Amino acid sequence: MTLSLIRCYSTVTEPASPDFIDQFYSVGAKIQAHRPKAVTQSSGYLGLVMSLGLSRPAALFIVEGPDGPVARAGVFQRSSAPRSGVIGLYETMPDPEGAKAARLVLGGAMEWASDHDLDEVFAPVDVNTWFKYRVMLYPEKEVFAPDPFSWEPTTPPEYQRHFVDQGFEVAASFESIGLHIPDDGEYTFGDLLARTKSGYDSAITSGLRIERLSSEEVQEVLPAVHVLCDDAFAENLLFEPIPLQAFQALYGEALAGMPKHYTFLARGQEDQIAGFLFAFPDRDWLVFKTIAVASDMRGRRLGTALMHAVYREADRADLRRFITALVHQDNVSRFLLDPEKMPGVETWTRRYELLRKCVSPGASNL
């Protein structure tokens, strides 16, 4: 099968043409049509990702085969680390065509990275970690786990192999843990409420207020939450701040589709925001998506306090299934719902990887 690579380089002063961007979008839709289980990316998501991605040096690639497009990807310089880049918006047809196209499109991206003096490239990352990133791993033996939840970075099994075959290595590992905590048994939902209550009581005694917000109230405080997240996540791998307008669009779209979300805010005595938690129901699971604690409040169990507030509301709604979503394996928040401390509780784990490759100057990088 003969394949051809189409390139479009983009700079701040000479951005990619609207026609090529439209073609890039349409290629993704055509490829996703061959993957029935794929999560279709909304035009709003693509527009937001691309607006940020093309605000820095970047390149877009399309691989064409005899019967049409077989792959696409973008490579983007990181705004906060100009010697580092990411490959994202990655889509291929199913193997074996996909594997052949992957070699071509990833080779083109690494060549661009070398030409632009990058030292390393991470993948897959849709521009930055505010958006979809990581590959999902699939266990060799079939084990129970529910269908993917909203915002989960679902990827076909072969994507991880595509990157590894081209020399990418694991840079970081993540996991989502699901637990069904019943009302009776060796460890119960009542035990969970009791275990987390001291953290909540300590926060209230110290003068903090913890309150649940409606969608309208969340919209009002998003500028302050934006500042909090920049502070709370500043040391996270690959973190880069995004403009307030993009942050509002990202959470605004999420809230519009999740009217029964569980969003809590912790405020100090002077009304400053000290912590933020965003969780949402997905079928009969409650997914903990974002927990942000101000840097000067760490070590005071404020994360536990926020989760206790959620558990109390979950109790009223008879929710007993919880997911801690997409947590870095070294992040202390993964212990906020630790199955090792809950004997007899039904649990499942899904794992993900972020991959990295060093750039060889002047080489093809294949």
pTM over 0.75: yes
Please say which residue of 172, 193, 210 terminates a domain.
172
206 and 119 in one domain?
no
Please say which residue of 145, 172, 199 terminates a domain.
172
Strands 169-180 and 135-136, sheet pairing: unpaired
274 and 307 in one domain?
yes
290 and 211 in one domain?
yes
Domain that holds residue 86: 4-172
Say how far apart CA 164 and CA 302 lie, in whole Å.
39
Return the SS3 of 163.
helix
266 in Cβ contact with 200 (< 8 Å): no
CA dihedral 323, 327, 332, 337 (to 10 degrees): 10
The verdict on residue 12 lying in a domain is yes
The verdict on residue 74 lying in a domain is yes
Two structure tokens written together for 127 = 């521009």
Say how far apart CA 157 and CA 138 lie, in whole Å.
6
CATH number at residue 287: 3.40.630.30
In the block, tokens 């290629």 appear at 27
Q: What's the angle, vertex CA 58, arms to CA 55 and CA 62, rounded to 5?
A: 125
Please say which residue of 172, 199, 224 terminates a domain.
172
158 and 187 in one domain?
no
192 and 162 in one domain?
no
The verdict on residue 353 lying in a domain is no
pLDDT tens-digit readout, 62-84 = 999 999 999 999 999 999 999 99
Say how far apart CA 56 and CA 279 lie, in whole Å.
32
Reported residue count of the chain is: 366
The verdict on residue 356 lying in a domain is no
Q: Each residue's pLDDT tens digit in the chain (366 positions)?
A: 799 999 999 999 999 999 999 999 999 999 988 887 777 778 889 999 999 999 999 999 999 999 999 999 999 999 999 999 999 999 999 999 999 999 999 999 999 999 999 999 999 999 999 999 999 999 877 777 888 998 899 999 999 999 999 999 999 999 999 999 999 999 999 999 999 999 999 999 999 999 999 999 999 999 999 999 999 999 999 999 999 999 999 988 788 778 789 999 999 989 999 999 999 999 999 999 999 999 999 999 999 999 999 999 999 999 999 999 999 887 655 556 778 889 999 999 999 999 999 998 765 555
pLDDT tens-digit readout, 16-66 = 999 999 999 999 999 988 887 777 778 889 999 999 999 999 999 999 999
162 and 220 in one domain?
no
238 in Cβ contact with 129 (< 8 Å): yes
114 and 81 in one domain?
yes
Closest residue by Cα to residue 204 from 267, 249, 154, 258: 267
The verdict on residue 193 lying in a domain is yes
Closest residue by Cα to residue 242 from 48, 10, 16: 48
Exposed / middle / buried, residue 127 (Cβ in 10 Å: 0-12, 13-18, 19+)? buried
The verdict on residue 360 lying in a domain is no
134 and 77 in one domain?
yes
The verdict on residue 23 lying in a domain is yes
Residue 204: CA count within 13 A, CB half-sphere? 11
192 and 153 in one domain?
no
The verdict on residue 140 lying in a domain is yes
In the block, tokens 């979503």 appear at 325
Two structure tokens written together for 45 = 């998501």
Print burial letters for 318-356: b (CB count within 10 Å at least 16), e (below 16): ebbbbbbbbbbeeeeebebbebeebeebeeeebbbbbbb
Domain count within the chain:
2
